[in-house]
Amino acid sequence: MLKQIDLSRTDLNLLALFEIVFQERHVGRSAERLHLSPSAISHGLGRLRTLLGDPLFLKTPKGVVPTERALQLAPSVAEILTRVRGVVSSAAPFDPRHSTRRFVIGAPDGASSVIMPSLLERLHQAAPGIDLGIRQLLPVQGFTAPHLAWKDALKELEDRTMDIAIIPFDDIPVRFHKQALYEEEFVIAARKGQSFVRNPTLQRYCEAEHLVVSHTGDVSGFVDVELAKKGLTRRVALTVPNFNFAISVLTETEMVSALPRRFVEIHGARFNVIAVKAPLPLPRFSINMVLPKVAMMDTGLAWLVELLGQVCTTNGWSSARSGKRSRSMHS
């Protein structure tokens, strides 16, 4: 029979130390977060190494890097600590009206710019003390397969460097909670009164100067795939790294750009930019909210998940699933 481990002789605070060092990759920053001295962190890591039989973190000129064993342990440690926090927080139930927590949400700017105005309004009413950090998520460069393009976002969720990801990715691993927030599609956006808007034919579309949103500067996107099927091409006069930059350029030029429909509906008016239906097929896809299932035991996070769902429902965005695969939102 396996020998039972005596947890009374194990300091569970060492798991919290492991989590912080794993996140920070730096002893000094970990010490600041835990309000300890760097020597205390080093001493704690020494005890962890003895307990787990592995170096866990190796020194580098820029900090520390986790060993393979530490990478394997990280998800289990995060799950254990989430459960412990859930037990502790149950003694004092999460109260959004009086909470001063800070949540980190990651999303492409085309999605965060759609959701944030309504979410901030709801937070101001229901939870005025809660703060948000918004991270811009981008697909991993060089990968077209969705499970590879968004693998870094899933890793950051499991590493607890962000709480929720909002991404155009459907095939989420079963260890994650996934909830469809809304369906999105691309439209052609241009300055109001621009010549293409007055006569949006496919020929005039190909003749126009195009602005492409690409964080890598790549001029080829899904529009070019559709044009190639018809034996057509376009001139990409400019690439910019995000949708907010794109819409500000459109208002000053004769360019056209494929942008998310809801993004244009919310922000187009103040830039004098309008949308017209594309004269060629463009993608339609789901925007999903994703976080580890174990994190849903955190009552505060569960509340924020519900609030995000309510924001989309209240705005009339929620709809049936399209069944389409994820996209990179690169036009």
pLDDT tens sequence for the chain (331 residues):
334 555 555 677 889 999 999 999 999 999 998 888 999 999 999 999 988 899 999 999 999 999 999 999 998 888 888 877 766 665 567 899 999 889 999 999 999 999 999 999 999 999 999 999 999 998 876 656 666 778 889 988 988 889 999 999 888 999 999 999 999 999 999 999 999 999 999 999 999 999 999 988 888 888 999 999 999 999 999 999 999 999 999 999 999 999 999 999 999 999 999 999 999 998 888 999 999 998 998 889 999 999 999 999 988 887 544 444 445 555 6
Torsion sign over Cα 106, 110, 111, 115: positive
Summarised one tens digit per residue, pLDDT across range 277-303 is: 999 998 888 999 999 998 998 889 999
Measured between alpha carbons, how far is residue 51 from residues 26, 39, 233 in Å?
21, 18, 62
Q: Please report the domains of the chain, with CATH numbers, ordered by start residue.
A: 11-89 (1.10.10.10), 102-182+287-314 (3.40.190.10), 184-284 (3.40.190.10)
Instruction: Output the pLDDT for position 6.
Output: 57
Summarised one tens digit per residue, pLDDT across range 225-278 is: 999 999 999 999 999 999 999 999 999 999 999 999 999 999 999 999 999 999
Write down the pTM of the prediction.
0.70
3-state secondary structure the chain: CCCCCCHHHCCCHHHHHHHHHHHHCCHHHHHHHHCCCHHHHHHHHHHHHHHHCCCCEEEECCEEEECHHHHHHHHHHHHHHHHHHHHHHCCCCCCCCCCCCEEEEEECHHHHHHHHHHHHHHHHHHCCCCEEEEEECCCCCCCCCHHHHCHHHHHHHHCCCCCEEEECCCCCCCCEEEEEEEEEEEEEEEECCCHHHHCCCHHHHHHCEEEEECCCCCCCCHHHHHHHHCCCCCEEEEEECCHHHHHHHHCCCCCEEEEEHHHHHHHCHHHCEEEECCCCCCCEEEEEEEEEHHHHHCHHHHHHHHHHHHHHHHCCCCCCCCCCCCCCCCC
Instruction: Output the pLDDT for position 233.
Output: 95
- Among 242, 276, 271, 285, residue whose Cα is nearest residue 256: 276
Instruction: Output the pLDDT for position 9.
Output: 58
- Orientation of helix 151-158 relative to helix 68-89, angle to 10°: 60
